[in-house]
């Protein structure tokens, strides 16, 4: 069965292609193994390997072997690297930029993108997202979340709004209308089920 092209960037074949390219092009200084890319995107390793073959054949990536590892990175020395990077930042960028910014912050148990970006990622029709809405579950410092939002905005070129909610409120069976509303709509996971000690 053929996958529907993603509404975030219908030029691409799938959300998986967009997310893989976003990780590669928005972190061009890094090399990723196919296993690492699969883990970061939630895409199966065989799919990552097939897409990596396509990227290499199109001259989008560079590869090297280190033992049994196939290490992949964006090829930024091509004429399309800059416009492709800008396009990926504006479309699939939030999924690749926000996790590394949120991971080191103590107290972040879970994090999700919600709102229009999550809806487009889930292929719900609508205009391109004007901003990015992020829900952080846990007890991180608000100043650190503010810094994350500003750092993400510099890369993504749009406003990033981060809301914080306690783990108890997020996991409660009923009550909070905000939580009920969020759970009834698309959520794109950035960090899941991480508990800090």
List the CATH code of the domain at 15-90: 1.10.10.10
pLDDT of residue 195: 59
pLDDT of residue 9: 85
Domain ranges of the chain: 15-90, 96-191
pLDDT of residue 6: 85
pLDDT of residue 196: 44
CA 19, 10, 154, 61 torsion: positive or negative?
Answer: positive
pLDDT of residue 11: 84
Fold of 96-191: Beta Polymerase; domain 2 (3.30.460)
Residue ranges in the chain modelled with pLDDT below 50: 196-197
Task: Give the predicted TM-score (pTM) of the model.
Answer: 0.89
Could you give the CA distance from residue 75 to residue 129 in angstroms, rounded to a whole number? 28
């Amino acid at each position: 069965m053929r996958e529907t092209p993603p509404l975030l960037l219908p030029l691409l074949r799938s959300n998986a292609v967009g997310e893989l390219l976003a990780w590669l092009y928005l972190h061009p200084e890094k090399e990723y193994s196919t296993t690492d890319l699969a883990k970061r995107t939630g895409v199966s390793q065989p799919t990552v390997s097939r897409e990596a073959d396509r990227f290499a054949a199109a001259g989008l990536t560079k590869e090297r072997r280190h033992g049994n590892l196939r290490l992949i990175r964006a090829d930024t020395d091509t004429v399309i690297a800059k416009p492709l990077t800008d396009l990926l930042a504006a479309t699939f960028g939030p999924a690749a930029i926000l996790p590394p910014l949120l991971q080191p912050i103590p107290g972040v148990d879970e994090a999700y993108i919600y709102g229009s970006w999550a809806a487009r990622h889930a292929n719900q029709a609508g205009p391109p997202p004007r901003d990015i809405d992020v829900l952080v579950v846990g007890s991180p410092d608000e100043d650190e979340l503010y810094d994350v939002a500003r750092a993400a905005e510099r890369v993504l070129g749009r406003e990033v709004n981060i809301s914080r909610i306690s783990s108890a409120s997020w996991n409660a069976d009923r009550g909070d209308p905000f939580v009920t509303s969020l759970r009834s709509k698309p959520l794109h996971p950035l960090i899941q089920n991480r508990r800090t000690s």
